[in-house]
Structure 1
Amino acid sequence: MPETVRMACPAGRKHVELWSGYTLFVLAVLTVVLDPAHWANIVLGLLLALLGAALIVHGHRIQAPVMEFDTEEFRYTLGHYSVSVVLEEIGSYHVLPGRTRSLGLRDNTGRPMRFPSLHNRRTARSYLPLTGMTDPGRVEMFMAAAGIPPRDRSLTQH
């Protein structure tokens, strides 16, 4: 049975929303418990609890991208969206910088690989979105373990 290597990208927004939601929920409980006789504290506590609950629910719904490979194929999953590519078809990769990093894959001829859109749009995309907190060094180590070389960005041959 082939061993699967997996890398989950960190989702900072998920952690922020969860921590904020739980903090607001605790603050709501404290607001009502400290002075339950005044109607303004009860209303404020109720509003804080509703806002905290909304943040907690939304935070739990955020999904982080997961990349994995085994001896035969590379897989990328983000919620219900999934891409599988045979490892032998991938020639190189590059990590696109920016607020939300992305992974671009190239075929053996150097052309960008095209993937279906994430949100059921008609266009195809040539990159797979990661998260802003994804360390490019971890992606490089993961791709090196898969045996996929980085794309040479220089225009001259050495």
Structure 2
Amino acid sequence: MTCPMGRKRAELWAGALLLPIGAVAAAAGLSGLWGTADPGMGAWAAVALGAAALVGGLVLLIDGIRLRVPVLEVEDGEFRYTRGRYIVRIPFADVGSYYVLRGRTRSLGLCDVAGRPRQFPSVQGRRASRPYLPLTGLTSPAKVDAFMSTAGIPPRDRSLTSGR
């Protein structure tokens, strides 16, 4: 999955689903082991599958909790974008406008006061630079618009008549 928020939700839900299934399967296998004098392979298989489901559920939950999704903040006179260890800090006075690139993976572009798009280093640590900050596919453009209007950053005016 390319969307970190979607991956996080999927891993958390799958882990939360696997934990009780694994616990029930392991408990059923253990009760089969203790209930008969000569336990068959079915009881051992249920214990092994239950233990594997428990471990898999725990791994998915831990990985889902550790996944970081992009965070937008405006605080202390600066605009901040955080995605894991990647942090972009821009003085609030240097941000003139914004635009949202819609598509499979939504992105946020910031422009300086003169209206030119800002360049950002790549999120993956490559040498290329990009004129946008990647958001997630599940991020609603309306939420980004609401956040930016609350912060006082206007949308980029792309009209030829300049608002007439």
Place the TM-score, normalised by the shorter chain, in its bin: 0.7 to 0.9
TM-score, normalised with respect to structure 2: 0.82
Partner of residue 130, structure 2: 125
Report deviation, 1:71: 5.9
- Which runs of 5 or more structure 2 residues have no equivalent in the other structure? 34-42
Which of the residues 43, 47, 68 maps onto 1:42?
A: 47
Partner of residue 14, structure 2: 20
Which of the residues 132, 135, 154 maps onto 1:149?
A: 154
Larger strand share, 1 or 2: 1
Which of the residues 88, 94, 97 maps onto 1:89?
A: 94
Task: Give the number of the structure with larger relative contact order, counting CA–CA contacts within 8 Å between residues 6 or more apart.
Answer: 1
Q: How many residues align?
A: 149
1:48 aligns to what SS in structure 2?
helix
Q: Which has the larger radius of gyration?
A: 2
1:29 aligns to what SS in structure 2?
helix
Supply the distance in 2 between the matched residues of 1:141 and 1:42 (Cα, whole angstroms): 51
2:73 aligns to what SS in structure 1?
strand
Supply the distance in 2 between the matched residues of 1:49 and 1:114 (Cα, whole angstroms): 45
- Which runs of 5 or more structure 1 residues have no equivalent in the other structure? 1-9
1:75 aligns with 2:80: yes
TM-score, normalised with respect to structure 1: 0.85
Identity %: 49
Larger helix share, 1 or 2: 2
